Chains A and B, each alone.
Chain A
Amino acid sequence: MTLSEKNLKNEIYDFKKFYHLIKAFTISTNISCKAFNLNGEKIASFKGPESDTSFCKLIQKLNQEKNYCMQSYIYGGQQSEKLGEAYIYFCPYGLVNWTVPVIKENKVRCFLTAGPVLMHEVDNLLVENAVKMCPMLDKRRKEIKSKLSKIIVVDTIRVKYLADLLLKLAKIIMAEDAVDLNNKHELNIFNAHLVENINEIKRTYTLQGKNNKISNFQEKEANLITKVTSGDKEGAKKSLNQFLGYIFFYNADNIEIIKCKVIELMIRLLQVVTEVGVDYNVVSGIKYKYLKNLINAGDFNEISKNILEVLDYLIDCLTPLINVKNRNTILIAINYIRNNYHKDINLEEVAAQVGLHPVNLSKMFKKETGKKYTDYLNEVRIEASKNLLLRDDLPLVQVAFSVGFNDQSYFSKIFKKIEGVSPNKWRVLQKEQKNFN
């Protein structure tokens, strides 16, 4: 290992950890890894135990002046920083590398580049490309072919996961700064989906024409609002993405209209979340900040970034509220069931007590308690029936009616399902137990 420790120590939080992680990577994967500064200069190098870099050494010596390798390291590093993920690429000579950034205090300090590997066997195309890039190799094809053959071949799926692994290691080194990188990555994914949505609208537009324009637009807004109020962050982002794709498609030539529509949407969202119970003071602060940002936004990309931040923020405000509210609702429902189980109560009746649609209550009940409404009701009834069963004089049919069942055989069936024995058997067992004691 060669290492300019002094250079590197200043750039990294925990140098020891860094050293161990990269060493673990190179030894376990047998793939070399280098650290570069922002100028593409090598500041540390860890060699995979059996990896062969004789091709790289030869070519760097011959093409010293051209610096292709250095340029590709810098370029790969910049891309990985921009994308917030590992950047996998062919080097100018056709070998595969991947790069991740190392960030400290919001600044990229160095890049880690792993490789080179090949994703296919050495072929003539690879050799000819090397000769094209370095004409001095013209008469040395055999030699480069043999040097290239020493580079390990790794299949595509392994390359993907090796790149993910290097990024995960880099994130450990970066500690809190990894959050920035994650945000960048998420924004890039959001933008990629946006492009897909625009493209989808382009395709359907040519098929269906303008007819669906207005209904679609309102539908998309309504969709988004439902997702926001139910606290479904991923779903809301998806809906926002579709909404943005839609307004961009119809107003791409006029950024001011796009701004107006997005500002309208923001105001509407703020209204909705305050209606649900978010404190107005909490949202009014961001209202002015983002209103300003949106008005001053220079392009569509800035607009979508800002409204995405608003959405994120609002849903975060809503989430605890939604959970608490749900819990209260369920408690009221449970109380009602416990007080009225002996009557002929149904889901509609309980839902009416908490002001919800029966379907929504049923969903929420399952989510919060892990049980279906009917199962819970049956459990309460069976529990109550046990007290009555302990009284010898009470016939089963009366026990069943007393706890709210309309039918004795159904009562017996449910009892057996929950307790594992029939009510009669249970009664006998309880008596035996009592005598025994």
Chain B
Amino acid sequence: MDREILNELTVALQKGDAIKTQKFVKIALKKGYEPEQILTEGLVSSMNTIAEKFKKKQIFVPDLLLATRAMNAGIFILKPKLKKQLFSPIGKVLIGTIEGDLHDIGKNLVKVFLERAGFEVIDLGNDVPVNYFIEAIKKFKPQILGLSASLTTTMYGMRDVIKALEKEGLRENLLIVVGGVPITESFATGIGADIYDMDGTKVADKAKEKLKCSNF
């Protein structure tokens, strides 16, 4: 299969052209690309390139905003194709980024893969205070809670959420997934999380496995 269309998609996204991004996603789907491939090799890899350029100061915050807009536009087209049509989801996941953290690309990616794996995902968005997490858990009663933090200043917010859950008696019968750029395996274990992977695309499978073993 020629990769030309994915390359064109990459160019459109890096220019922040939302309309063209949508157009190329549609063409790629028509040409028979798997939605996951379009997501990882088209959208996500472009965002990684953009992040690198940002680090090297070749582009600035407004370019990131525009590119993120284009990515979200692309995901909007992909989403119905990514979701498995299940009559009964295999589990319910509540997901959000820690208070003070506005970086939600990683979280959104994990969300897409969780949905693809058959989970029902309730997204609390970014910059979520601890008590919002607690209230939402009481309300939606998920089996899994996903926490994301992309800064050293916000990663300890995950520990605070877990502590608050313990205090409220909500920690049992709940699997906690954590992730984000500064998060390491030992940090995840240290704060009492159940699931972690460096690669956001693998989290969904790990969650599925763990959920099977835990009989919640």
Q: Does B189 touch A at the CB level, under 8 Å?
A: yes
B19 on the A face (CB < 8 A)? yes
Closest-CB distance, B75 to chain A (whole angstroms): 12
Segment from B59-67, B84-92, B136-144, B200-208 that makes contact with A: B59-67
Closest-by-CB residue of A relative to B157 is: A299
Is A196 part of the contact surface with B, judged by Cβ < 8 Å?
Answer: yes
Contact in complex: A79, B16 (CB < 8 Å): no
B100 proximity list for chain A (CB < 8 A): 82
List 8 A-B pairs, minimum CB-CB distance, nearest first.
A253-B190, A252-B187, A156-B62, A160-B60, A253-B186, A159-B62, A299-B156, A252-B186
Which residues of chain B from 142 to 198 have any CB-CB distance to chain A below 8 Å in the complex?
Answer: 150-153, 155-156, 159, 181-182, 184, 186-187, 189-190, 198
Contact B152 A300 (CB under 8 A): yes
Chain A 151-174 near chain B by CB (<8 Å), digits 1 or 0: 000001101100100000000000
| B151 and A120 contacting across the interface, CB-CB below 8 Å | no
A160 to B61: give the CA distance in the assembly, Å.
Answer: 7
Chain A positions 198 through 240: 1 when the CB is less than 8 Å from some CB of chain B, otherwise 0: 1100100010000000000000000000000000000000000
A-B contact pairs, 9 of them (CB 8 A): A88-B61, A94-B69, A120-B18, A156-B60, A156-B66, A163-B62, A198-B182, A202-B184, A300-B155
The CA of A298 and the CA of B155, in the complex, are separated in Å by 12
Determine whether the beta carbon of B65 is less than 8 Å from that of A191.
Answer: no
Bound form: Cα–Cα A198–B187 in Å = 12
- Could you tell me if B62 and A119 are in contact, using CB atoms closer than 8 angstroms? yes
Q: How large is the interface on B (under 10, 10 to 19, 20 to 34, 35 or more residues)?
A: 20 to 34
Verify if B121 is at the interface (C-beta below 8 Å from A).
no
Name the one of B55, B66, B73 contacting A196, with C-beta atoms under 8 angstroms. B55
A159 to B66, CA, bound (A): 12
0 or 1 for each of B33-62: is its CB under 8 Å from A? (1 = yes): 000000000000000000000010001111
Nearest A residue to B69 via CB reads: A90
Check B152 against A304 for contact (C-beta < 8 Å).
Answer: yes
Write out the residue numbers on chain A whose beta carbons fall within 8 Å of the beta carbon of B187.
Answer: 248, 252-253
Question: A90 contacts which chain B residues (CB < 8 A)?
Answer: 65, 69
Chain A residues near B (Cβ < 8 Å): 79, 82, 88-90, 94, 96, 119-120, 123-125, 156-157, 159-160, 163, 191-192, 194-196, 198-199, 202, 206, 248-255, 298-301, 304
- In the complex, are the beta carbons of A88 and B153 less than 8 A apart? no
Q: Is the CB of B62 within 8 A of A88?
A: yes
Cβ–Cβ contact A123 & B19, under 8 A: yes
Q: Distance in Å from the Cβ of B189 to the closest Cβ of chain A?
A: 5
With A198-B184, A199-B181 as known contacts, state yes or no: A119 contacts B152, CB within 8 Å.
no
Answer whether residue B27 sits at the interface, using C-beta atoms and an 8 A cutoff: no
Contact B189 A253 (CB under 8 A): yes
Bound Cα distance from A119 to B100, whole angstroms: 26
18 additional A-B residue pairs with CB within 8 Å, beyond A191-B153, A248-B182, A252-B186: A88-B62, A96-B62, A96-B65, A156-B65, A157-B60, A157-B62, A191-B152, A198-B181, A198-B182, A199-B182, A202-B184, A248-B152, A249-B186, A253-B187, A254-B186, A255-B190, A298-B156, A299-B159
B150 touches A195 (CB 8 A): yes
Nearest-neighbor residue (CB-CB) of B150 within chain A? A195
What 0/1 pattern do residues 66 to 80 of B give for CB contact below 8 A with A?
100100010000000
Minimum CB–CB distance from A128 to chain B (whole Å) comes to 10
Chain B residues lying within 8 Å of A195, measured Cβ to Cβ, are 150-152, 181-182
